[in-house]
Structure 1
Amino acid sequence: MLRLVAAALALSISGCAVAEPLDFDQYVASIKPVKPVARVTYGSAASQHADLYLPTSKGPHPVVVLIHGGCWQANVPDEAMGLSQNAADLSAHGVAVWNVEYRRIGEPGGGYPGMYEDVAASIDKLRDVADQYKLDLRRVIVVGHSAGGHLALWAAARSKLPASSPFYRANALPVRGAVSLAGVGNLKYHANLLATVCPDIKIDQVVGPLGAARPDPFADTSPRKMLPLGVPTISITGDYDQEVPPYVGYLWRRVALKAGDSATDIVLPDAGHFDVVSVTAPSWILVRKQVLTMMAATK
């Protein structure tokens, strides 16, 4: 796919008021949590659960797996991770949404390896509830924001995990595509950027320790190392994003295309890091459109 640039996308939101990009406090203040249809646990830890949002149609429903960000850290306030509004909005447009929580850095098992185990287990848990909630597991895509964007790309790469990886599962539920909202797919190349944006963490908390048993800790943690993923990816970034600048998505598209994948990067006008997940921001209209378009292509 050709790269979509801000000038072209701006036409899609003509008529919407242009505002300054949201900062973190403004984003948090805008969040109004929406209760799910059901909360499903997939492990014994408090963080091991996913919230399900359903459309009003009879089904079977295609599924968007939604993964929040927050520098993979537990000390980011829960209210700042509030993707329930996004989940409710997407479900109102005809898809089921599986809004995933996972163990984060700072809680037992969080970060490496727990968050990878949790993302994998939460997606595979869909099999246990598919009949009850009329879910179409042939049509599952993953969407993540910031650190969750990395995990969304990783989830799409699970089929490329080597059998030697502790995260390998022979029967992993396949996904049909991934949307990374201001996420990083190349952890090694962007390690310095991550250290600036998330100064309270160390890269080995995200990718695991370097040692004789794991000579390359990025091999099963960084999506870049697992290309080609074999499914389409879209990277969406705000043009004013200071945390994950637009060039990150541009570079992902380049390496993914070179590896043989279908990949697009989109730069949204007048948007910062949090606008891409704020349902009150014009950017969300465009994000929703891309998610639904990817889902439609899974028919």
Structure 2
Amino acid sequence: MFRLAILALIALTPAVTAADTPKLLTWDDLTSRAKPVPDATIAYGDDHLQKVDLWLPAGPRPRGKPYPTVLVVHGGCWTTSIADRSLMNWVADDLRKAGYAVWNIDYRGVDRTGGGYPGTFQDAAKATDALRDAAAQYGLDAKHVVAIGHSAGGHLALWLAARARLPKDSPLHSAHPLKIAHVISLGGLPDLEATAASPDNGCGTEVVGDLLGKPTPARPDIYRDTSVPRLLPLRVPQDLVNGREDRIIPMRLATGYTAQARKAGDQAVLHIVPDTGHVELVAPDTEAWRKTKALLAAAQR
């Protein structure tokens, strides 16, 4: 089912000719590889999707120091049948080998009971805050967490960094959210209003309505606590990594958001990687992933 759902997503991508683009990775190129497994799985709720996979470096950590810790958020158009946290296993394993602890979260998508608004957002928030509770047991650095999100997960990673700015009357508000120190968005969709107005994005426009619901008299503005530009400035450094040949996420969604963030006073940098599509962003041994690891290393200094 997972592979069929991924193929359905790719079917939404505009066709290109061989002359238009270099040979790009497909989802099968990634998912047909031997899948590494995490060191532990931790529940933060009763639903089978309310889980976090923890990846820990081999060997003892430096005495008196926690592992540098990365929060990972998968994409898949906020839709569980398209992707779950296992899509990030390959990069999580690569980060584990590089000495990072990885907190790979899952959440109920719009196609699952309890998903959509507010459940998808509340799941992402609870999964993130659970890192703080597990930090002492597993030696995680909860004081300097870097969030990496892919596609729809790029939106959620940025949104997680914005939680301190949520309106107090929002059901998504939390008094003491885990602080995110830095965000790296990989082919993300941070601006939900722009996504809903972009029929050429690979997720389509209807999924935004599925995620946020329809405006009501009690909730006339569905974007005020969900779309990242509405919460700017985040006051958190942000790197956006996008593939020049990405046919799923239009480049203007990255350039448009970056301009908004910079205008609001945030440190936001867009990194465009040539000969790169959407899959390369979460595949080890690609130029895009090497760029992401370099940005991660810089963010840890």
Give the alignment's TM-score, normalised by structure 1: 0.87
1:200-239 Cα deviation digits (max 9, x unpaired): 8432222232011112100001001000001011111001
Which runs of no fewer than 5 residues in structure 2 stay unpaired?
1-21
Matched, 1:25 2:31: no
1:76 is matched with 82
* Higher RCO structure, 1 or 2 (CA under 8 Å, sep 6+): 1
2:46 is matched with 44
1:27-70 Cα deviation digits (max 9, x unpaired): 3334x322111110000000000011112433411211101111
Aligned residues: 277
The CA deviation at 1:24 is 3.0
Determine if contact 1:180/1:235 at 8 Å carries over to the other structure.
yes
Q: Aligned match of 2:136 in 131, 146, 160?
A: 131
TM alignment of 1:130-279, pairs within 5 A: 130-193=135-198, 196-199=201-204, 201-279=206-284
Matched, 1:62 2:64: no
1:4 is matched with none
Determine if contact 1:256/1:263 at 8 Å carries over to the other structure.
yes
Once residues 149 and 105 of structure 1 are traced to their aligned partners in structure 2, the CA distance between those partners, rounded to angstroms, is 16
Change (3 A) 1:277 1:261: same
Bigger drift between 173-182 and 70-79 goes to 70-79
Once residues 70 and 81 of structure 2 are traced to their aligned partners in structure 1, the CA distance between those partners, rounded to angstroms, is 26
Which runs of no fewer than 5 residues in structure 1 stay unpaired?
1-18
Determine if contact 2:201/2:249 at 8 Å carries over to the other structure.
no
Determine if contact 2:80/2:110 at 8 Å carries over to the other structure.
yes
Alignment RMSD (CA, Å): 1.9
The CA deviation at 1:157 is 0.6
The CA deviation at 1:23 is 2.5
Q: Which residue type is aligned with residue 72 of structure 1?
A: W
Determine if contact 1:104/1:110 at 8 Å carries over to the other structure.
yes
1:11 is matched with none
Give the alignment's TM-score, normalised by structure 2: 0.87
1:155-195 Cα deviation digits (max 9, x unpaired): 11101101011011101111111111000111102213267
Once residues 65 and 27 of structure 1 are traced to their aligned partners in structure 2, the CA distance between those partners, rounded to angstroms, is 21
